[in-house]
Amino acid sequence: MEGKTRQWHQYTIYLPAIMKRSNHLYRAYDNQAERMVAIKVSPNLRQGANEARVMRSYRTHPNLPKYYDLIYERNLAHIVMEFVAGVRLNYPKGGPKRSPELAVAISLQILKGLRHLHDKGILHYDIAHHNILINGDDPKTVKIVDFGGSLRKRRHHHWRSNRAGGTVNFRPPEQRWAPTTLYANADLYSVARLCYWLMKRSLPKRDEKIVLDDPVLQRILRKGMANEPDKRFQSAQQFMATLERW
Ligand SMILES: Nc1ncnc2c1ncn2[C@@H]1O[C@H](COP(=O)(O)OP(=O)(O)OP(=O)(O)O)[C@@H](O)[C@H]1O
Ligand SMILES: [Mg+2]
């Protein structure tokens, strides 16, 4: 199905948009650099500027889309980035439940991306199934997207936010209030929730304990999603090492 196109700067934009939410996402071809790109168009200039700054500062990593450019026009921010082939983890609706092995393999790739982000002083702040892309359900293709709400660190060990953030059911309790102090373990809580969601396609309420057939994995994920931040994994590296031993 070859649809319409539109020329914009050096880009050939394919219509219609692939995503139309608060932000519009277009697939486009960069005729100068000769590569496919994704263009995220945001009416929220502050959010667009924040996203571009975050993407610039993490530089490059296999589990994160490359940043190319930021263009302001007609009161819209346009972020040009690497086009990621693939679909959201929650696509299609009612799709397959993943085996524990696959769920853990996907989670490990997300953690690799987060280890890099956290090392660069960035907290993603909205790890959830709709912000992770995958191609052919192959863990090696996993990429984290959507840094519009991400937080940059100002002081050594923690982040501060003046607004609540994240996705209901995936976010830790401390992201429901603002102002709030956060640690890497906030994103890691969301990874534990997501790993469980991949296997079950549903999530229990925050205060219900998760139940899995595998008692070791159950213990690991319960620790990952402890309500008290101190009881969780404290770094992506630590969470990864534990999942790798499993
Ligand atoms: N670099 C990319 N390449 C291909 N598709 C992308 C890319 N970035 C985002 N998308 C697609 O566009 C969707 C929306 O992007 P993003 O999450 O950044 O925007 P959003 O407005 O926050 O959307 P939502 O509220 O649904 O999370 C993603 O879920 C994904 O399907
Ligand atoms: Mg998003």
Confidence class for position 3, pLDDT limits 50, 70, 90: confident
**Chain segment 138-148, per-residue pLDDT in tens:** 999 999 999 99
**Chain segment 74-122, per-residue pLDDT in tens:** 999 999 999 999 999 999 999 899 999 999 999 999 999 999 999 999 9
**Chain segment 194-239, per-residue pLDDT in tens:** 999 999 999 998 889 999 999 999 999 999 999 999 999 999 999 9
Which of the listed residues 145, 168, 171, 194 should we mutate to test ligand 1's pocket, taking the one with most ligand atoms within 8 A of CB? 145
Residues with Cβ within 8 Å of 228's Cβ and at least 6 positions away in sequence, in order, are none
Instruction: Give counts: helices (H), strands (E), the chain.
Output: 5, 13
Asked whether the CA dihedral 110, 83, 89, 160 is positive or negative, the reply is positive
pLDDT confidence of residue 154? 79
Tell me which residues have their CB within 5 A of the ion that is ligand 2. Answer: 131, 146
Q: Note the CATH number of domain 87-245.
A: 1.10.510.10
Determine whether 146 is an active site residue: no
pLDDT confidence of residue 22? 84
pLDDT for 157 beyond 90? no
**Chain segment 52-78, per-residue pLDDT in tens:** 999 999 999 999 999 999 999 999 999
pLDDT for 156 beyond 80? no
- What's this model's pTM, rounded to 2 decimal places? 0.96
pLDDT for 2 beyond 70? no
Which of the listed residues 11, 26, 40 should we mutate to test ligand 1's pocket, taking the one with most ligand atoms within 8 A of CB? 40
Measured CA to CA, the distance from residue 135 to residue 142 in angstroms comes to 7
CB of 37 shorter than 6 A to ligand 1: no
31-35, 157-161, 203-207: least confident range? 203-207
Asked whether the CA dihedral 6, 12, 14, 16 is positive or negative, the reply is negative
pLDDT confidence of residue 214? 98
Taking residues 179-202, report their average pLDDT.
97
Which of these, 209, 173, 177, lies nearest to 190 by C-alpha position?
173
pLDDT confidence of residue 189? 98
Q: Extract the tokens encoding 214.
A: 């595998």
User: Class of the 5-82 domain?
Assistant: alpha beta
Taking residues 144-166, report their average pLDDT.
92
Quote the percentage of the chain above a pLDDT of 70.
98
Taking residues 12-18, report their average pLDDT.
95
Report the chain's terminal Cα–Cα distance, integer Å: 44
Q: Cα 160 vs. chain centroid, distance in angstroms?
A: 19
Confidence class for position 20, pLDDT limits 50, 70, 90: confident
Measured CA to CA, the distance from residue 69 to residue 14 in angstroms comes to 18
Taking residues 25-32, report their average pLDDT.
98
Write down the domain spans for the chain.
5-82, 87-245
